[in-house]
Every structure is written in structure tokens, then in C-alpha cells.
Amino acid sequence: MRSPSWIRAAKWAALVLVLAVALLFPAFESDPATVNIAVFTVMYVGLATAWNIMGGYTGYVSLGHAAFFGFGAYAFGLVLAHLGIQAGYEPFLFVPIAGVLTVVLALVIGWIALRTRAATFVIVTIAMMFMVQLLAENLVGLTGGGSGLSFPVPPWTGDFFDTPFYYAMLVMAVVSLLLSWWIRRSKFGLGLLAIRDDEDKALAVGVPAHAYKLTAFVISAGLVGMIGAVYGYYVTYIYPQYAIDPLVGISLVLMVFLGGLGTLWGPVLGAVILEPAQLWLAYNFGASLLYLVFYAAVFLVVILLLPRGIIPSVGDLLKRIAARRAVGPSDTASTSDAHTVAGVPSP
């Protein structure tokens, strides 16, 4: 059942090509504005892929992931401050610590939120996000409250400024993709997909749903937290309402839906399409709140036209074309056979 070898070879070639472009991009592109767009795009590739591990594979849609993004940024800033790390390349080594701290937060939030199902879960994640935002605003002694938190300012300047951050984000995106790919292929991933299809049935065949859901949630959050940490360092100053921004949380969800929920490359595709578009809209219309109207319009068009996302829709189209080319009329059995003539074996 494996696809023909030339398709597989083509896929590998495409992958290598994309990776090469991504790696060499800054060497060829000197315009810092473009690199800036690339930083944010790659950031969202990582965020969307990480979110998909929970939302796409298990079907539990979290709209509060912005909490982990902001928490990761704050945790990172505070760790750097406490350990007295100087600006430069050294801080990047401490990003995983922000990830670990975010994982701890996710364990707490996840344990509570996963006591609920489907619709309630979505709402609880939103509520949790606002709680984290409130804490960031009000624990002034720790986070600086409304005045914000500062990061060490990197010594590299000018046109080169964005480049190390681009690579840091790229690393995070690649890590997220690798994890997502690995999980998808594993028994753990199969269990997650089973949970998505029918959680009670999954339990009935031995899938430890609660443990699996919590694990996916925590992995997803940890990755998002680390990306948030890099973001904090990049913007050098964070405020509660911008670090923990519901728009960030909803954007990354929309990207996953656009590309294809639950697929491996869907989030990547969605991020690569939407983030530059979003930045362009913000740049041209950001001053007036009309930017939101256009954004909403894009949103609505995407969801109403392509509810399943690009990759599944394209996949379906290809299958239908292939089926039409096959010999004879379409033979895909799908309806109940409860009334087949007696004596004739049915399946």
C-alpha cells in the first residue's frame, strides 16, 4: 500500500528543496523588512504545527494557546534576569527552560481543562488564557504588570538584527514538525487519532485517553512556550495584552484549519499563506480598526469555502479524479447492506 517510488522520491526532493530555501534564505535576501516577515511566518509555522499536535490529532480545540505563548515569553525573560544572562547568543541556550516551565503550567491547566469535553473544553481554554493574562497584569512584582518586562538587548544591530532570530524560529519550527511527524507515526499518535474519531470507543479498546490527551496538550504547550520565549527576546519588551494576545491564539488556529486540521503539512501551508497576508493587512490598514474588518472577511471566506482546509480538499479532488479514471463505474461501498437478498454474502 505504499505509494510508487517515484512519488516518494519526489516528496523527498521537495522536502530537501524547501529546507534548503529556508536555510539559505537570509543569505540571499538582504532587505530586513522581508526577513522580518520571514521571522514571523516561520514563527507561525512552528506555532501552528505545535497546536495541531493537540487540536488536530485529538480534536480538542484549544483557543487559549496564547497563554502558553505569553507565559513562555515571560518565563524566559524572568529566567534570563534571575540568572543574569547577558545578551548575545547565550540566551538561546536557555529557551528549553522556558519550555519546561510552560510544560508545568500546561499540566495544571490541562488537568483541569481536560476534565471536560468538546465545547466546554474550548471555553475553558479561553477562560484560562484570560486568567493568565490577568496574572501577568496583576503580579506586578514579578512581571512588571502593565509596564511590561524587558529582555537583554542583543548586541547585533542594523540589517543583521533579524537573522539570528530567523534561524532560532526556524529551529523551533523544524523541531515542532519533527515531533509532529514522529507522533503521527507512533502508537501514541494512532491513539490520539482514535480519540478524535470516537473517544469512548477508544477507551473501550484500551486507549488511555486521559493520559494521552494530557501528554499531547503538554507537548503542544511546551513547544508554543519555547517559541514565545524566542519571540520575547526578539521584540525585547513584552506587555501582558500583547504577549498573551487572543488574536495570536486565534490566528494560529485559523492557519491550521486553512491548511488542513490534523494533517502534517496543513499548519505549515496555512501559516505560509496567512501570516504574510496578515502582516500586509496590518501594515496597510493597521491604523484604523478597518484592518479587523478585512481580516474577519478573509477569515469568513476561508472557513465557508474550504471548511476542511486546503490539503484534505485537494486530496479529495485528486481521489475523485483518480476514481473517475479507474475502470468501470465508481464502486466505493458506503451504504448499509442490511437489506441484501438473503443467501448472498454481503461484504
Partner 1 sequence: MTLLEVQSLSKRFGGVTAVDGCSLSLDLGSITGLIGPNGSGKTTVFNLITGFLAKDAGDVRFKGQSIAGFGPNRIYGLGIGRTFQLARIFPRLTALENMLVPVRRSGFRALVSRGQWNDERTRAMDMLAAMDIASVAGLLGGSLSYGQRKLLELAAVMMAQPQLVLLDEPAGGVNPALIERIGEHIRELNRQGVTFLLVEHNMPFVMGLCQKIVVLHRGAVLAEGTPADVRGNAAVLDAYLGS
Partner 2 sequence: MTLILEAVVFGVLTGGVYALMASGLTLIFGVMRIINVGHGALVILGAYLSFALLRSAHIDPFVSLIITMPAMFALGVVLQLVFIRPLKEDREALSVLVTYALALGIEGLLGFLFSDNLVQLNAWYETASFAVFGFHIAYVYVFGFGLCIAILAGIFLVLYRTTFGSAVRATMLNRTAAQLVGVNVDRVSAIAFGIGVSTAAAGGVIFGMTNAFNPGSHYDLISRLLTIIVLGGLGSLRGAVIAAVGMLIIEDVTAVVISPVWASFAFFLLLVIVLVVRPQGLYGIRVRERI
- The residue ranges that bind partner 1 (CB under 8 A) are 1, 182-183, 185-191, 193-194, 196-198, 200-209, 332-347
- 277 near partner 2, judged by CB under 8 A: no
Q: Residue 257's binding partner, choosing from partner 1, partner 2, none, with beta-carbon cut-off 5 to 8 A by kind? A: partner 2
- 196 near partner 2, judged by CB under 8 A: no
Q: 132 and 70 in contact (C-beta within 8 Å)?
A: yes
**What's the burial of 306, exposed, middle or buried (CB within 10 Å: 0-12/13-18/19+)?**
middle
User: Minimum distance between the CB of residue 116 and partner 2, rounded to whole angstroms?
Assistant: 5
Q: Taking contact as CB under 8 A, which single stretch among the options 160-168, 223-231, 248-256, 331-339 is the one that binds partner 2?
A: 248-256
Cell for 328? 468501470
Q: Residue 196's binding partner, choosing from partner 2, partner 1, none, with beta-carbon cut-off 5 to 8 A by kind? A: partner 1
CA dihedral for 308, 311, 317, 320, sign (positive or negative): negative
Q: Who contacts 107 (Cβ-Cβ below 8 Å, separation ≥6)? A: 214, 218
Helical axes 290-305 vs 266-285, angle rounded to 10°: 150
Q: Taking contact as CB under 8 A, which single stretch among the options 13-21, 181-189, 221-229, 303-311 is the one that binds partner 2?
A: 303-311
- 195 near partner 2, judged by CB under 8 A: no
Cell for 253? 488556529
User: Minimum distance between the CB of residue 21 and partner 2, rounded to whole angstroms?
Assistant: 30
Burial letters 221-255, b for 16+ CB under 10 A, else e: bbbbbbbbbbbbbbeeebbbeebbbbebbbbbbbb
- 73 near partner 2, judged by CB under 8 A: no
Q: 251 and 274 in contact (C-beta within 8 Å)?
A: yes
Closer of 159 and 337 to partner 1 (Cβ): 337
Q: Number of C-alpha atoms within 13 angstroms, CB side, residue 99?
A: 17
CA dihedral for 112, 116, 118, 119, sign (positive or negative): negative
Q: Taking contact as CB under 8 A, which single stretch among the options 20-28, 83-91, 116-124, 328-336 is the one that binds partner 2?
A: 116-124
Eight-state DSSP code of residue 155: S
- 78 near partner 2, judged by CB under 8 A: no
Among positions 141, 200, 327, 334, the unique one binding partner 2 when judged by CB under 8 A: 200
- 300 near partner 2, judged by CB under 8 A: yes
Among positions 292, 313, 314, 315, the unique one binding partner 2 when judged by CB under 8 A: 292
Closer of 94 and 291 to partner 2 (Cβ): 291
Number of residues that bind partner 2 (CB under 8 A): 47
Q: Residue 19's binding partner, choosing from partner 2, partner 1, none, with beta-carbon cut-off 5 to 8 A by kind? A: none
Q: 224 and 72 in contact (C-beta within 8 Å)?
A: yes
Burial letters 312-347, b for 16+ CB under 10 A, else e: beeeeeeeeeeeeeeeeeeeeeeeeeeeeeeeeeee
User: Minimum distance between the CB of residue 29 and partner 2, rounded to whole angstroms?
Assistant: 32
Q: Residue 157's binding partner, choosing from partner 1, partner 2, none, with beta-carbon cut-off 5 to 8 A by kind? A: none
Binding site for partner 2 (CB under 8 A): 59, 61, 63, 112-113, 115-120, 122-124, 126-128, 130-131, 134-135, 138, 198-200, 246, 250, 253-254, 257, 261, 288-297, 299-300, 303-304, 307-308
